[in-house]
Amino acid sequence: MPPRAVASLIKVVLSLPASALPAQPAFRHPNPRIELDASPFFVVAEARPWSGHHPRRAGVSSFGIGGTNAHCVVEEGPGVRRDATPPAPTPWPL
């Protein structure tokens, strides 16, 4: 995986427990030919809370030269949410 993709993966993994969508610092405005308002997609121009009742999922893509592409989907595990009741301790040490 290229270094930029690794940095993106780290960014996503750190966003899950923080319950925050980080801003895209280089974003100015979308291409007018892309109708983002009419689609389910959006660009996070400013950091904001990442809320919802479903498990949080994020995808990281890396498109290389000559077909060396990689895509990774990251999903939070059960009981990860800070607002949830912590699980009971297990008798086995981790």
> Max alpha carbon distance in the chain (Å)?
57
Q: Which residues of 6-17 are buried (b: 16+ CB within 10 A; e: fewer)?
A: eebbeebeebbe
Beta bridge partners of 57: 75
Structurally, how many domains does the chain consist of?
A: 1
Domain for residue 29, yes or no? yes
Average pLDDT of the residues in 31-44: 88
Residue-range definition of the domain harbouring residue 44: 3-75
Separation CA 14–CA 36 (nearest Å): 26
Domain for residue 92, yes or no? no
- Which tens digit of pLDDT belongs to each residue from 49-66? 988 777 888 888 888 777
pTM above 0.75, yes or no: no
Average pLDDT of the residues in 9-17: 88
The enclosing domain of 54 has a CATH number of 3.40.47.10
Average pLDDT of the residues in 35-52: 87
Domain for residue 24, yes or no? yes
Select the more confidently predicted residue: 92 or 80.
92
The reported pLDDT for the residue numbered 94 is 59
Beta strands in the chain (DSSP E): 20-21, 48-49, 57-62, 70-75
